[in-house]
Amino acid sequence: MSATLFSPFWHRVAEVKPRLRSHVEINRHVYRGDVWYVIQDDASGRYHRFTPQAYALIGLMDGQRNLDQIWHSAGDQLGDDMPSQDEVIQLISQLYRVDLVQTDVIPDIQEAADRHDRDRRNKLLAMFKSPLAIKIPLFDPEPFLNKTAGLSRWLFNPVIALIWLWCIGWTLVQAGYHWDELTENLADRVLAAENLFLIWLVYPVVKLIHEFGHAYALKRWGGEVHEMGIMFLIFMPIPYVDASSSAAFRSKYPRMMVAAAGIAVEAFIAAVAMAVWVHAEPGLVRSLAFNTLLIAGVSTLLFNGNPLLRFDAYYVLADYLEIPNLASRSNRYIGYLCKKYLLDQEHEETPAYSRGEARWMLFYALASFCYRVFITISIVLFVASELFFIGILLALLSLYNMFGKPLFSIIHYLFMDHRMVQKRGRATLVSAAVIACIGVLLFAVPVPRMTVAHGIFWAPESARIMAGTNGFLEQVSVDTGTRVKAGELLFVSSNPELEAEIDRAAGRIKELLVRYRTAVADDRQNEAGIIQEEIRSSRAELSRGIEERQSLQLRSHAEGIFQLALPVDPQERFIPRGTLMGYLLTPGEYQIRVVVGQDQVEAVRNDLQAIHVRVSETLDTEIEARLVTEVPSAQKELPSAALSVDGGGQFALDPTARDRPEAFDPFFLFDLRISDQPVSRIGERVYVRFEHTPEPIGFRIYRQIRRTLLRELEF
C-alpha cells in the first residue's frame, strides 16, 4: 500500500475505460495456501501472475466502466485492502506494457511499433548474451499433435508408469552388474574421433524424442504447443518445443508431469539402450547403444535432471515447492537482503511471501550460482581445449555474464539510483568494508593447507624374494607369516626344458672329450685347441644350467618373517624369472611408498610441516611416519594396481599399457619410514596427509587457475 490513498495524477486516467484483450485467459492457482491469478496471453505465449487484490481490479475491466468506477467498486469489495490510486496507475501501466489491455483512447501506433522493435532487439541481444544456448523457432507443431493426440493417453497412464518403473529398476541393476565394463577406459572411448561423431549423430535424435515427450504430456492434460525449433547447445543442433502453456494448469501435478516428461522419456531410452548394449555383439550397434546410454544418463544428470539449472528439473522443483519464478526471485531475494541489511533501505520489500519461501530462495540462489559457475567453467575449458579462440571468447562472455554484469548493476545502483542519494555515504562505507573483508579473507587470513595422497606398504628391495629362473611352481614349503631361518627352503619349482638343456650340455661335453682325446692321440694340435675351447664353453653352459636348477629351490637368504606375494593358490603356475615371490621381513621399520600428482609435488618437496598416515582398514587409527627419500624423476608406472582408479585409487590407467599398471599423467614417488606394523600389511593401501604452512585461499585459487590454464590450454 502507498503512504496515501490518492494520487495527484489520477485525473489524467480516471475516465479511461480499460478492457482485457480477447486473447487473454485468467486461471486461478493456489501457491502455498495463497490464491493467485495467472493471466495467459495466447498471442505472445507469456504468463503473468497477480494477487487477488489486483484481480479484483482486472476482473472489472470490461470496457464499460472507467478507471475511477473500477477503483471505487474494487474498494467496496476489498475494504481495508483496497489499492491506492498510484498502485492502480502502476497496474494499468504494467498491463498496457505487456499488451493485456486496450482502452477507448486512440492507441499510439508509433509507440506500439517501437515497443515491438524493442522486444525483437531484446530477443536478438539475448541470443548474443547466451551463445551456448541459441534458440531458432521453425514451425507450429500443434496440427500434427492434434492428429496424434491419442498417443498421449497411451503414453501417460498408470500401466505405462509401472512398466517404466520396472524398466528403470532393471537398468540400474544391469548398470551395477556391468559397471566395470561400462566405465573401463571411459575417457579414451568417449573422446575418440569416431565416437564423437556417433555422439553428434545420436544426441539430436534422443533430444527430439525428449521434446516430443513434453509435447504429448501437454496434450494429455489439455495444453497446446505452438512453437518448435532448433537450439544450438554448445554449437550442437538440438530440437526444442515451447511447453510454457503448462503454466495455465491449475494443479501443480500436471505441470510437474509436463516438466518431468522429457526426463522420463530419456530414462526409458536409456533402458532400451542398456538392453541393446547387454545383448548385442561388439560393433556399430553396440557402440550406438553405449552412446545413447551415455547421452540419456549423463546429460540428464548434469543438465535436464539437475534443478540448479533452468531446465526440466528446475520447473519440477519450482512447481513442487509452489514458488513460481524460483530462480529470478531467489536472485531478487539476495538483492533484497543486501539492500535492507547492508544499505539500510527500509522501503525495500521482500520477494518472499513466507519464511519457508525465504529459506528456499536463499539456499537456491547460492547453490545454483555455485553450480552454474562450475558447469560454465567446465564447458568453456572443454571448448577451449578443442577450439582455442572460441573458447577464450566464451570465457570472456561467461565471466561478464556471471560477474561483470552484476557488478556493473551494483555500481550503478549504489552511485546512480535516486533512492541512494541519502545513503551515499553508507553505501561507500559498506562497499569499502565488503571489498576489504573479501580481500582479507582471500589474501590475508591463513587457512590450513594439506595434500592428501594414496600409498601402499612397501618392502625394501633387500626383503624381496624374486624368482631366479623360469619354472612351474610345485610347492610352497612355508606358510605365510611364519618365521624362517637363513637357508630354509621356501619354494620348489620344476622346469623340464631346463633339465633337458642340462642333459644335452652334459652329453655334449662327453662327446667333445672323446673327440679331444682322439685329436691329441693323432697329434692334431689345431683341432684339439678348437675342441678344448668348445669344451670350456659347454662346461660354462652346464654350470649356468646347474645354477638355474638350484634356483628352482628358493631358500631364505636371512632370518625373518615370510610373507607370500603370489595369489592364494599359485600351485602349478608358470613363474617367469624375476617374478616377486614373497617378502622376508624382520621386525622393525618398514616403508610406505606414496604417489603424489604433479600439481602437489612442489608443496610436498619444499613446504612439509607434518605427516599423518591412516590405514584403509582402520581409518580411526593414525600411525607415525617420516619422509625418507624421493624418487627424483617423474614416473608413470604405478607401484601397485591398488593405486589406480579401478583399484580404488586416484590415477586413471592408460589403456595402451596392457602389461603393467601405467597412469595417464606422470607422478612422483615418496618413501616414508614407519615402525611396528604387522608384516601382513605389505601391499595394503594407506592414506597420507602432508601438512604445509597455512596460506590464504586467494593464492591457492590463483595457483589452481594458472595450473588449469597451463594444463588444459597449454599456455
Give a three-class secondary structure readout of 14-36: CCCCCEECCCEEEEEEEECCEEE
At 278-304, the pLDDT tens digits run: 888 888 888 888 888 888 877 777 778
Q: Quick one: which of 156, 178, 163 has its CA closest to 272?
A: 163
The pLDDT score that the predictor gives to residue 258 is 92
Range of the domain at 667: 452-460+584-713
The pLDDT score that the predictor gives to residue 1 is 41
**Residue corresponding to grid cell 606422470:** 666
Nine-digit cell at 639? 607401484
Kindly state whether residues 254 and 145 are assigned to the same domain.
yes
The pLDDT score that the predictor gives to residue 233 is 65
Q: Quick one: which of 324, 258, 246 has its CA closest to 51?
A: 324
683, 565 contact by CB (below 8 A): yes
Cα–Cα distance measured from residue 117 to residue 297, given in angstroms and rounded to the nearest whole number: 41
Q: Which of 264, 299, 321 is the last residue of a domain?
A: 321
Kindly state whether residues 555 and 570 are assigned to the same domain.
yes
Residue 363 has pLDDT above 90, yes or no: yes
Rounded to the nearest angstrom, the gap between the alpha carbon of residue 435 and the centroid of all alpha carbons in its chain is 31
Residue 115's pLDDT band (boundaries 50, 70, 90)? low
DSSP 680: G
CATH number, domain with residue 98: 3.90.930.60
Kindly state whether residues 217 and 305 are assigned to the same domain.
yes
Cα–Cα distance measured from residue 492 to residue 476, given in angstroms and rounded to the nearest whole number: 7
**Taking CA 186 as the corner, what is the angle to CA 181 and CA 191, rounded to the nearest 5 degrees?**
145
Question: What size, in residues, is the chain?
Answer: 715
- Beta-carbon contacts of 43 under 8 Å, excluding residues fewer than 6 positions away, are 21, 23, 99
Cβ burial of 154 (10 Å; 0-12, 13-18, 19+) is: exposed
Cα–Cα distance measured from residue 183 to residue 653, given in angstroms and rounded to the nearest whole number: 12
Kindly state whether residues 24 and 73 are assigned to the same domain.
yes
At 414-436, the pLDDT tens digits run: 777 777 767 777 778 888 888 89
- Mean pLDDT rounded to a whole number for the chain: 81
Kindly state whether residues 241 and 154 are assigned to the same domain.
yes
The pLDDT score that the predictor gives to residue 359 is 92
The pLDDT score that the predictor gives to residue 690 is 92
What total of structural domains would you count in the chain? 5
**Residue corresponding to grid cell 552484476:** 406
At 8-67, the pLDDT tens digits run: 888 888 888 888 887 788 888 888 888 888 887 766 667 788 888 888 888 888 888 888
Q: Quick one: which of 391, 300, 436 has its CA closest to 715?
A: 391
Across 560-566, average pLDDT: 78
Q: Quick one: which of 639, 623, 631 has its CA closest to 673?
A: 623
At 655-701, the pLDDT tens digits run: 666 667 778 778 899 988 876 666 556 778 889 999 999 989 888 88
Kindly state whether residues 166 and 301 are assigned to the same domain.
yes
Residue 3 lies in a domain: no
266, 301 contact by CB (below 8 A): no
Q: Which of 512, 542, 575 is the last residue of a domain?
A: 575
Residue 2's pLDDT band (boundaries 50, 70, 90)? very low
The pLDDT score that the predictor gives to residue 706 is 78
More confident residue, 406 or 275: 275
Kindly state whether residues 285 and 147 are assigned to the same domain.
yes
Residue 124 lies in a domain: no
Kindly state whether residues 603 and 527 are assigned to the same domain.
no
The pLDDT score that the predictor gives to residue 409 is 80
The pLDDT score that the predictor gives to residue 45 is 67
Cα–Cα distance measured from residue 242 to residue 225, given in angstroms and rounded to the nearest whole number: 6
Across 260-278, average pLDDT: 91
Residue 276 lies in a domain: yes
Residue 260 has pLDDT above 80, yes or no: yes
Rounded to the nearest angstrom, the gap between the alpha carbon of residue 598 and the centroid of all alpha carbons in its chain is 22
Cα–Cα distance measured from residue 599 to residue 608, given in angstroms and rounded to the nearest whole number: 15
Which amino acid is residue 95, in one-letter code?
Answer: L
Residue 362's pLDDT band (boundaries 50, 70, 90)? very high
pTM (2 d.p.): 0.67
Q: Half-sphere exposure of residue 181, counting CA atoms within 13 Å on the CB side?
A: 11
Kindly state whether residues 590 and 568 are assigned to the same domain.
no
Q: Which of 518, 544, 575 is the last residue of a domain?
A: 575
Q: What is the DSSP string of 145-186?
A: HHHTTHHHHHHSSHHHHHHHHHHHHHHHHHHHHTHHHHHTTH
The pLDDT score that the predictor gives to residue 630 is 86
Residue 117 lies in a domain: no
Residue 114 lies in a domain: no
Kindly state whether residues 412 and 331 are assigned to the same domain.
yes
- Measuring CA to CA, how many Å separate 686 from each of 181, 481, 643, 649, 714? 27, 21, 10, 10, 33
The pLDDT score that the predictor gives to residue 215 is 92
Residue 456, SS3 per DSSP: strand
